[in-house]
Structure 1
Amino acid sequence: MLLFSWLSRKPGNAVIYYPNWILKGLDPFEGGSRTRNPFSWIREAMSSTEQDVISISGYDTAVYFVFLSTG
């Protein structure tokens, strides 16, 4: 976890942590925090709408999230 925290704060590693965002021309840090921690995905997952998930990750991820939330 310490290695994750250290590497995710390096600006050059954004291509590793946000490849879909960068390929679609979006700013990975827009509206969010510039610091990453291993648990920040929970807040992002809870605040994302289904349309956000589809536009960033695709339909398969949206279906997976719907399946998990139903369970």
Structure 2
Amino acid sequence: MSDADIDDDFDDDFDDDDDAKMVEEAETSVRTRLSSLEKRRLIDNLLEEKRLAKELKDDLDDIDNFDEDGDDWDDDDI
């Protein structure tokens, strides 16, 4: 069987290119949606990291604001 005979056997299977186009469009849509979801996940992770960094910075600033004893108790209260 020659290559031309093999090609002829498959020609009848793809008479309707609309189906093939719909499948290709669906695959492209899925890839685009997955790409968008991945981008959104990365953005969410970045925002969470920034929030945690700010929270940590605020906590460190609070530690710096303790009195010289290293605690936040007034010595007169004890």
TM-score range, shorter chain: under 0.3
User: Higher RCO, 1 or 2 (CA under 8 Å, sep at least 6)?
Assistant: 1
Structure holding more helix per residue: 2
Give TM-score, length-normalised by structure 1. 0.20
